[in-house]
Each structure stands twice: as C-alpha cells, then as structure tokens.
Amino acid sequence: MRALPEDADQPIHIQAERAELDQNAGKVVYRGSVEAQQGTMRVTADEMTVEYEDQKVVRITATGTPARYRQQLESDQGEVRARARTIVYHTREERVHLARDAFLEQGGNEITGELIDYDIVAGKVNAESGDTGPVRVIVQPAARDQ
C-alpha cells in the first residue's frame, strides 16, 4: 500500500467557509466544510489546522464527525480510504494518524480501532484498541489463478 510518490511534490489546495491565520504561531485554522487536496490525496473535515515551519506545511490536523481521507495508491492498487474523528497528516514523514473511531480500507481489506497509524511511504499500518472494543481486521482472500 504505497501512495503515488508524486503526490508529496504537489501544492496543497484548501477551501473552507472561514480561515484564521496566525503568522506568529505558524498556523492557519479553517472551519466549515473544509476540503484539502494534494495530488490524489483528499481530506474533508469540519475543522482543519495547518501548521507551518520555514514556510512549509509540516502537519495538517482535521477533525469532524467524521473527518475523511483518501488517496490513490501506486501501481493501480486502487485507493486507500480512512475516516476518524481526528486525522493528523504529517507531511514530512508522509504519515497519517487516525484517532477516535478510526477506520482504514484498501482493496477490500479493512482495519477498525481506536487509533491507527498509517505510514504512507513504507505501506505499514499499526492499530490499537480502546474502550470502544478490540481492533478488527477484515482481510480479503487472494485471487486464485484459474
């Protein structure tokens, strides 16, 4: 599960009903029907905070009921889709952290838990359970040669 490598080199486009810029803190808070796009990566949320260091985006925190993430994978592997109440996209590490009612799906395989960390570059996923129940995984069988 690797995202398209060219996505990380694309500009990030964000639209919302309202935006509040705090240059001293190096962040912008967007509220109301927020949508962010970078290449094939799309995040939608009720509220999104974008943090900057040295004029570069380092972290995007999206919250919603739920916030949603999707991105095209390389080699025609379809899309990865995720949702959670909080999604944190670490742009430098190309890592997504899903918290509270987290769900991740790719190619029919699904992971549900309280916390899910998805390393986009390595294609690795770690999940943790919480008070809401255990981590649940659905793995589709491999297609058989006919």
Instruction: Give me the torsion for CA of 15, 16, 18, 21, rounded to 10°.
Output: -40
Among 92, 112, 95, residue whose Cα is nearest residue 103: 112
The pTM of this model reads 0.85
- Residue 92 — very low, low, confident or very high, per pLDDT cuts 50/70/90? confident
Strand partners, 71: 80
How far is the C-alpha of 110 from the C-alpha of 73, rounded, in Å?
A: 15
How far is the C-alpha of 27 from the C-alpha of 57, rounded, in Å?
A: 9
Tell me the three state secondary structure of residue 61.
strand
Q: pLDDT for 110-138, tens place per residue?
A: 999 999 998 887 878 899 988 778 888 88
Q: pLDDT for 11-29, tens place per residue?
A: 889 999 999 999 999 999 9
Superfamily of domain 5-138: Lipopolysaccharide (LPS) transport protein A like domain (2.60.450.10)
